[in-house]
Structure formats: structure tokens, C-alpha cells
Amino acid sequence: MSARLRGKVALVTGSTQGIGRAVARLFVAEGAKVILNDLAADDHSQALLAELGEDNALFIAADIADESAVQAMVARGADRFGPITVLVNNAGLDIFAEPLAMTAAQWQRCLAVDLEGPMHCSRAVLPGMLDGGGGSIVNIASVHGHRIIPDAFPYAVAKHALIGLTKSLGIQYAARKVRVNSISPGLILSERVVEWLKRLTPEEAQRQIDLLPCKRIGEPIEVAYTALFLASDEARFINATDILIDGGRSQLYHD
């Protein structure tokens, strides 16, 4: 690897599986110290920490919807590795409901994790970034933040708002050298998607592949490489921008 993140300290939320795990692995390989996060410690977090090594990574369990827990996580991570210079807001929650059937608890939890969580994390790391002369925040949004399909409520609402948060924070702190960008993945072969595909018939699963112009589903590492670029100094003039990683799917006129 080329050590593109040497000297940087990164917090990656939701980092024990899927896209988050791919990001954490790649960031460590490129020289960063990484704070891993999920709701609770489990076999996935223990295995990832053992793989990356305690000299390079620290796992902290925290619910990003809890602002006090986020503040404590950031303080602990900074005590271990130094001020956080890169934040990847990857943790998220899929809630899909028909609006009239959706419960208040579903609405509140979706917005708490998918929108308020990234805001809590950003507010926690921003003082250190501003005092240290800059940093990079990368929000993992979704193609659902660009295109609407039925029965994807309120997830799409939260992801549209997350892209708005990205642009607003990016402009707010641009002159102080903090860049805020987002990535909008399409269908990516995370563990969650693999399990979903297994529940489909072979014909239904093939239909999902056929909908993609490239005729294949994306891989977590393909999102991770974009996060690496945005986190690195190579992207120092990219700010308040969203990058779609969906194989061109969202550009099709038909479904």
C-alpha cells in the first residue's frame, strides 16, 4: 500500500461488517489509526480487531443515536491515538415501511440513527478538526437519497437529509479546511444484502443483477476505495459533494 493516510486518525462507525469493515481494513492498510465502532462487541468486532492489531485499531461500542455516548467514544479514541482527523459516518439502519402503517418508533429510530447519528459524530469531532487545522468527514448516504421507489419510507427521507447535511456542513466549514462529502452506494454485497438475496428466488435474484447496467452487484471494497480517496489529501479540493456508486443504475430511465 502507499500509506495515503499516514498520520491520520479515523473514526469509522458501523465498522464491523460490510462497507464499514472494508473501509476500516483499507484505512489501516494505508497507514491510519482507526477507531472501530458498532452497537456492541461481538464476534465480528473481536475478529476485526485481532486482524488489524491493537496498535492500529481500537473498538468502542456506542449507539450513535446517543449524543453523550458519541462524545465519550470520541474522547476515548482521541486519548488513545490523538485527535480524529477523518470521520466516516457509515452506521445506518434500514427501515422500510408504508407511511400510514409506519409506527412513530420506526420513524424516530430511523432518523435518530441515519441522520442524527452522523450529526452527533460530526459535532463530536469538529472541534478537534478545527483546532488542528482541518479534516475530512465522509457520510455514507445511499442511492435512495437520489431516487425514490415505493415502500422505502422513511429510509429515503433520512438519506436525502443526510446529503443535505453533507452539503450544509461542507459549506459551513470550508474556509477552515474541513471537507464534508458523501458517498451514495447502490446495491452492494454486504452481509445484509447477501442474506436478502438468499431469500429471493433465483429468478428474482437474477432480476436484481439484470437491473444494473454493468450486470453485477457492487462490492464493499469499491465503496471503501472512494472513502479512502475522499479522506486523503488527494481530494483536498473536493467538498460538499456526493458521489454515486451504483454501477449507473440511477441513470436509467426505465426500471
**Residues annotated as part of the active site:** 155
3-state secondary structure of 52: helix
87 bridge partner residues: 11, 137
Of 244, 228, 234, which Cα lies nearest the Cα of 86? Answer: 228
Question: Could you give the CA distance from residue 182 to residue 33 in angstroms, rounded to a whole number?
Answer: 21
Q: Where are the beta strands (DSSP E) in the chain?
A: 9-12, 33-38, 57-61, 86-89, 96-97, 135-140, 153-154, 178-185, 242-245
8 Å CB contact between 74 and 101: no
Which backbone phi and psi does 179 adopt, to 5 degrees? -100, 140
